[in-house]
Amino acid sequence: MIEILQIGQRLVRDERVITHIILVARAFNATKIYMHENNEHMKNTVYKINSTWGGNFEIDFINNWKKFIKIKKKSYKIIHLTMYGEDINCACSKINAENNMLIIVGASKVPREIYEIADYNIAIGNQPHSEISALAVFLDRIQHGKQFLKKFNNAKIEIIPDVRGKNILSKTID
Ligand SMILES: C[S@@+](CC[C@H](N)C(=O)[O-])C[C@H]1O[C@@H](n2cnc3c(N)ncnc32)[C@H](O)[C@@H]1O
């Protein structure tokens, strides 16, 4: 089970970024995202994505991230993505994609305690880029592309890969 914790969002300003984190998480085989501030709009976004593209990606809101991570740590590996962490190229072999994992991504400055509570602080290179790209690269590295084999149940539309254009299968669901 792969889950994501997004911390430090700046609500309105970051809604597009958060939407993209959700899209990446879902498309790359994570099952759930936790955010530390209630956001009904994002809940609605997840509902719409699931109803069009299928699957059952979940979103939940937490109000105490410290307590939440401590509880998760009993059965999940805690992986914090940060440019200050250890090199993904070296750390990748230590991380077993079969384990339950909670992947933490930040928005701006992440509280110091996260670095200490995490089992791994992983850098996708040591230059700043974005939580969206860091998440996508990390999920691809640990799953070796297998995430794209995932089937999404009850999709209204499905893309048929095509070398030269858009081939979309519309499914009617009663
Ligand atoms: C705008 S960046 C802030 C950069 C931040 N000072 C850091 O610790 O990586 C927001 C988030 O993107 C992710 N991120 C950005 N660059 C990264 C990198 N090179 N490696 C891993 N994660 C990165 C981290 O999760 C970070 O909290």
In the predicted model, is pLDDT for residue 11 greater than 70? Answer: no
Cα 23 to the center of its chain, rounded Å: 8
In the predicted model, is pLDDT for residue 135 greater than 80? Answer: yes
DSSP string, 5-47: EE----HHHHHHHHHHHHHHHHHTT--EEEESS--HHHHHHHH
- pLDDT of 131 reads 96
Which residue among 16, 17, 79, 82 has the greatest number of ligand 1 atoms within 8 angstroms of its CB, and so is best to mutate?
82
Buried b (16+ CB within 10 A) or exposed e, 70-94: eebeeebbbbbbbeebeebeebeee
- pLDDT of 145 reads 95
- Cα(150) to ligand 1 centroid in Å equals 27
pTM of structure = 0.94
Atom 3, ligand 1: which residue's CA is nearest? 108
- Cα(80) to ligand 1 centroid in Å equals 9
In the structure encoding, which two tokens stand for residue 6, read together?
């997004």
- pLDDT of 99 reads 86
Which 3 state secondary structure label does DSSP give 97?
coil
- Cα(133) to ligand 1 centroid in Å equals 9
Percentage above 70 pLDDT, the chain: 95
Residue with tokens 């958060």: 18
Name the residue with higher pLDDT: 136 or 93: 136
Mind listing the pLDDT tens digit for each residue in 67-81? 999 999 999 999 999
Mind listing the pLDDT tens digit for each residue in 21-36? 999 999 999 999 999 8
Atom 12, ligand 1: which residue's CA is nearest? 131
Domains of the chain: 2-170 (3.40.1280.10)
